[in-house]
């Protein structure tokens, strides 16, 4: 088991700043969830951690810097779409073996068989090509390949987003079992809050490249402090609840671009910010900072005023 620590991570794509000073710790063997709307920077954080995107800031695993290629192998990423993350030209065995180092021939085949068994795949699929497998099987091959590198940290970026619900559960159960059996530390990225709640210990909510709320998953979902988290929770569709049509935590506007720099990036949509209460000028002039003093914290000037429970179960 290994702990992951990220400090002041910053990623720029040309003139766009996709991640603006993100810091978090993931305790050894625990699962951190990352939620937020598309474009909020979740995938960019993941790509920076595995070295696919140049970034500034500190990334450490058990205190050791993550910049060498050897250290990088300790962090593995499982992609959203297994159709594109597995090279269609190679067999399942060849795909998984790509993650192995220092073993060849018979030993490699044996190790691949072990890994396929670990992800509950029939060893008979070793000779098939990814195109012949179902989405759930393919995603398990991708997980087996990541495990072949013997990682301490696994990042799962929307790994079930392109699967049908009945199969999604197979992959989620597998990830939970692997985490327990192998003592993996995980970052679990998803837009599905119910899944995140089920899978994670801690939760970070991202908006416009920043973490706007952070805390134990039960705390954040049970007592959300940031207005964005509350809108997010109010928007989760739930079977037979008819909550989406209710009036609670409706965003103030439908604009999707974040506000210009200077104040709070969420201020144009915030249901309790200046769009609804013009006297709250501080939201326009001053960027709210998260107070890391509390284990559960939110980057909002008026966070503490929202202590009545809301969310799906409220």
Partner 1 sequence: MTAAFRGPRPGRLLSGGVPLLLILLFVFLSVAGPSIWGEAASASNVAEANQSISAAHWMGTDDLGRDILARTLVATRNSLVLAVVATIVGGCVGIGLGLLSAMSRRLGRALGALINVLIAFPALLLAIFFAVLFGIGSVGSVLAVGASFAPGFARITQTLTASVVSKEYVEASRVLGRGPIYRTFRHILPNIAEPVVLYSTIHIGTAVLALSGLSFLGLGVQPPVYDWGRLLNDGLTRIYVTPGVAIAPSIAIVLAGLTFNLAGERLSDLIAGRRSAPSARRSQPRPAEPAPDPAGDGGGALVDVRHLRVTYASADGRVTTPVRDVSFTLAPKERVGIVGESGSGKSLTAAAIAQLIEEPGHVEAERLRFMDADLLTPDDSTRHVLGRNMAMVFQDPGEALNPAIKIGTHLIEPAVIHLRESKPDAKRKALDALRAVAITDPARRFEQHRHELSGGMKQRVGIAIGLMGEARLLIADEPTTALDVTVQRQILRLVDRLGARTEAGLLFISHDIAVVSELCDRIIVMYAGFIVEEAATADLLESPAHPYTSVLLAASPRMGLDKSRPLVAIDGRMPGPDADLPGCYFAARCPRADATCLSDRPPLRELADGRRAACWHPLTEPGDVPTSEGATI
Ligand X SMILES: Nc1ncnc2c1ncn2[C@@H]1O[C@H](COP(=O)(O)OP(=O)(O)O)[C@@H](O)[C@H]1O
Residue nearest to ligand SF4 (CB): 273
Residue 192 binds ligand X, judged by CB under 6 A: no
> Encoding tokens for residue 42?
């979740």
Residue 183 binds ligand X, judged by CB under 6 A: no
* CA dist list (Å): 126 to 96, 132, 159: 9, 11, 21
SS3 content of the chain, % helix, strand, coil (to 5): 35, 20, 45
Residue 190 binds ligand X, judged by CB under 6 A: no
d(CA 114, CA 135): 21
If the CB atoms of residues 84 and 260 are measured against partner 1, the closer one turns out to be 84
* CA dist list (Å): 298 to 103, 147, 293: 47, 34, 11
d(CA 108, CA 76): 19
CA–chain centroid gap for 34, Å, is: 4
Min dist CB 151 to ligand X, Å, is 20
3-state secondary structure of 157: strand
CA–chain centroid gap for 272, Å, is: 27
> Encoding tokens for residue 112?
């691949």
Subset of residues 40 to 79 that bind Mg ion, contact rule: CB under 5 A: 43
DSSP, residue by residue, 88-123 = TTS-HHHHHHTT--S--HHHHHHHHHHHHHHTT--G
Residue 252 binds ligand SF4, judged by CB under 6 A: no
CA–chain centroid gap for 159, Å, is: 10
d(CA 62, CA 235): 37
Q: Which H or E element spans position 137?
A: helix 135-148
In the list 1, 13, 52, 289, the residue contacting ligand X (rule: CB under 6 A) is 13
In the list 270, 296, 297, 311, the residue contacting ligand SF4 (rule: CB under 6 A) is 270
* CA dist list (Å): 232 to 2, 136, 193: 31, 28, 9
Over the window 175 to 214, marking each residue x when it contacts ligand SF4 by CB under 6 A and - when it does not, the resulting string is ----------------------------------------
Residue 255 binds ligand X, judged by CB under 6 A: no
Min dist CB 43 to Mg ion, Å, is 3
CB 195 within 8 A of CB 117: no
283 binds, among ligand SF4, ligand X, Mg ion, none (CB under 5 to 8 A by kind): ligand SF4
In the list 1, 8, 16, 260, the residue contacting ligand X (rule: CB under 6 A) is 16
Subset of residues 151 to 210 that bind partner 1, contact rule: CB under 8 A: 164-170, 172-173, 176, 191-195, 197-198
Residue 117 binds partner 1, judged by CB under 8 A: no
302 binds, among ligand SF4, Mg ion, partner 1, none (CB under 5 to 8 A by kind): ligand SF4
CB 59 within 8 A of CB 48: yes
Residue 142 binds ligand X, judged by CB under 6 A: no
204 binds, among ligand X, Mg ion, partner 1, none (CB under 5 to 8 A by kind): none
Min dist CB 161 to Mg ion, Å, is 9
Residue 267 binds ligand SF4, judged by CB under 6 A: yes
Min dist CB 158 to ligand X, Å, is 8
In the list 2, 26, 32, 43, the residue contacting ligand X (rule: CB under 6 A) is 43
Paired residues of 118 in beta bridges? none
Stretch that binds ligand X, among 38-46, 76-84, 128-136, 260-268 (CB under 6 A): 38-46
Residue 244 binds partner 1, judged by CB under 8 A: yes
Chain residues binding ligand X by CB under 6 A are 13, 16, 18, 36, 38-44
């Amino acid at each position: 088991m290994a702990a992951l620590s990220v400090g002041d991570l910053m990623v720029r794509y040309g003139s766009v700043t996709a991640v603006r000073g993100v810091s978090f710790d993931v305790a050894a063997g625990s699962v951190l969830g990352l939620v937020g709307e598309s474009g909020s920077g979740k995938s960019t954080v993941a790509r920076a951690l595995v070295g696919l995107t140049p970034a500034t800031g500190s990334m450490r695993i058990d205190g050791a810097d993550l910049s060498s290629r050897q250290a990088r192998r300790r962090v593995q990423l499982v992609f959203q779409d297994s159709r594109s993350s597995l090279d269609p030209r190679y067999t399942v065995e060849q795909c998984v073996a790509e993650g192995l180092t220092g073993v060849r021939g018979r030993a490699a085949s044996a190790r691949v068989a072990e890994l396929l068994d670990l992800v509950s795949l029939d060893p008979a699929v070793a000779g098939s090509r990814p195109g012949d497998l179902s989405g759930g099987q393919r995603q398990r091959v991708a997980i087996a390949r990541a495990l072949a590198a013997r990682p301490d940290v696994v990042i799962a970026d929307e790994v079930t987003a392109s699967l049908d619900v009945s199969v999604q559960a197979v992959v989620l159960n597998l990830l939970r079992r692997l985490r327990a059996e192998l003592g993996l530390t995980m970052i679990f990225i998803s837009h599905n809050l119910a899944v995140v709640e089920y899978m994670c210990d801690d939760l970070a909510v991202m908006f416009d490249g920043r973490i706007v709320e952070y805390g134990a998953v039960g705390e954040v979902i049970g007592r959300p402090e940031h207005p964005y988290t509350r809108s997010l929770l109010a928007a989760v569709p739930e079977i037979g609840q008819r909550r989406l049509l209710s009036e609670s935590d409706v965003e103030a506007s439908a604009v999707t671009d974040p506000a210009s720099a200077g104040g709070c990036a969420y201020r144009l949509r915030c249901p309790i910010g200046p769009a609804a209460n013009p006297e709250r000028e501080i939201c326009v002039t001053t960027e709210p900072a998260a107070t890391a003093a509390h284990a559960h914290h939110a980057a909002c000037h008026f966070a503490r005023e929202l202590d009545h429970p809301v969310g799906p179960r409220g």
